[in-house]
Each structure stands twice: as structure tokens, then as C-alpha cells.
Amino acid sequence: MLSPIINLMNPKPKFNPKAERAFLASLSPHEARQVAGSIDKRDRILAGKASIEEVYNEGKDPLYQWKRVGEISTNPRTMAGMNSQQEILTATKSFAKGCMDAPKEKQPPLPVGNISPAVLTQADALGILIKGQNIALDHDYTRHTLLHHGSPSERDRGQEPISDDDLALAGTILNQTQNLKPGTPSKSKNGCLRLEVTEEVGAYRYTVVYEVRRAGVVVYTMFKRPK
């Protein structure tokens, strides 16, 4: 039997909402809550009042909404990625707001840039293999950074508070460095290796610690001081 012909030039993703509900109904209440985000959201999906996508995308910036493969492939902007610092900043603000407003509703890492060949070469020289290409923000680490390094009390330590604008620079900071170093300590508690960078951007000197993961690196923490 021949398989259906797929139009790759104009794909139209199809899905069966009944299959989504059947899958959710097959899970234990605890597992279903983790998938949906809450018991209330699970109940809405099972009642047919909303799809998983609709529930997940509620209140999120369009740049960061969940998309199906067919939808992504027809969107040149999505395929090319965020191609301006303003787009990265807009997405970062939305992501950071989600981290602070809904800490338990974990968002996937937000890409804010691609790792340059020069950085990959420096990492190789340190014996650290970076397999992926993304520089990204992590939900929990972003919340931690804003809570611990984003308050005015940072000035008591000679530092300036970290904001969304600073987090959006994570890709720029990593890619301009010529002095990549192992982190201190060299590993996170989860066993992932760390990298540390200190670079000047604008009026500040940033120190950023990155954690090496399968898809690339994520920002572990960040702080800044005036030059």
C-alpha cells in the first residue's frame, strides 16, 4: 500500500483532537496535570473546551507559542529564527514574564542566538565539546537570575540589577568573547559542564555563566558591574 502523498511546498498539518484527549485521559491524574499544566487545564482539554496548544499558548507572545511542524515550515520568519536583537528582546521579555508569573509552568528553553565557530573552537581547546548550536535561556535559571541579581540591593555589592534587556544579550556576550573559561565550579549539580565569560557591552562589564547541554548552552546566571 502506498503512503499518502505529502505536499512539502504547502504542508497542512492535521491532527485529531480526540486523540489528544484520549491520550490525556489515559494518564494518571498526576501525569495529566504535568502535561496540561494544572488540573483545571486538564479538565478543560478533556471536556473539549480547548486543545493542548490553546491551553499552552494562552497569554504567550506569538514568537514563543507552540507550533506544529507543518506550521513552522511555512513560516519563513520562524525558519530563519529571530533575526534582530529587537525580536530577541521582545521574546526574552515574554519568556521572563512567564518565569516570574508562573514559576511552576515550565517553558522550554528560549533560543537567543547561535554559537559562533570561534566559541566552539575555544570550547574544544578547553576539552569541552558543545554538540548543539543554540544559546538559550532556561526557565528556572532565568527566574533565579532575576530574583537574585535583579534587585536594587545588587548595588550594595557594587553591581547593577540584571533585567530582561541584559538577558537578551546572552548570545552577543558569548559570541564576542576571546577568553572563554571553565566555570567555577566547573559543573552544575546536574552534572552539566559550565563555561564562564566576562565581557564589556555598552556601559557595563558582564559576567555570565553558561551551562553546557545537549542542544547547546543555557544561561546559568548573570551579573554586571559598571565599567
Residues 199-213 pLDDT 10s:
999 999 999 999 999
Parent domain of 208: 85-226
- On whether both 119 and 221 belong to a single domain, the answer is yes
- Residue 76 located in a structural domain: no
Determine the Cα angle at 68 with ends 63 and 69, to 5°: 105
- Residue 3 located in a structural domain: no
- Residue 67's Cβ-count burial label (10 Å; 0-12, 13-18, 19+) is middle
Determine the Cα angle at 147 with ends 164 and 154, to 5°: 85
- On whether both 201 and 128 belong to a single domain, the answer is yes
Higher pLDDT, 4 or 86: 86
- Residue 79 located in a structural domain: no
pLDDT higher than 90, residue 10? no
pLDDT of residue 83: 55
83 alpha carbon, distance to own chain's centre? 16
Whole-Å CA distances, 113 to 42, 136, 166 = 34, 7, 14
- Residue 94 located in a structural domain: yes
**Could you tell me the pLDDT band of residue 157, with boundaries at 50, 70 and 90?**
very high
Kindly provide the residue ranges of all beta strands, DSSP E only, lying in 106-226, ordered along the sequence. Answer: 110-114, 134-137, 181-187, 193-201, 204-213, 216-226
- Residue 80 located in a structural domain: no
Higher pLDDT, 49 or 58: 49
What is the percentage of the chain residues whose pLDDT exceeds 70?
80
Mean pLDDT for the chain overall: 82
| Residues pairing with 226 in the sheet | 204
Our count of domains for the chain comes to 2
Among 71, 94, 125, where does a domain finish?
71
- On whether both 49 and 107 belong to a single domain, the answer is no
**Could you tell me the pLDDT band of residue 23, with boundaries at 50, 70 and 90?**
confident
pLDDT higher than 60, residue 9? no
**Could you tell me the pLDDT band of residue 24, with boundaries at 50, 70 and 90?**
confident
- On whether both 97 and 59 belong to a single domain, the answer is no
Plot region of 103 (φ>0 → left; ψ -120 to 50 → alpha; else → beta): alpha
**Amino acid occupying residue 52:** I
pLDDT higher than 50, residue 88? yes
Average the pLDDT over 164-170 and give the result: 96
Read off the pLDDT of residues 92-141 as tens digits, 9 standing for 90 and up.
999 999 999 999 999 999 999 999 989 999 999 999 988 888 999 999 99
pLDDT of residue 59: 65
- Residue 2 located in a structural domain: no
Average the pLDDT over 53-76 and give the result: 54
- On whether both 150 and 45 belong to a single domain, the answer is no
pLDDT higher than 90, residue 164? yes
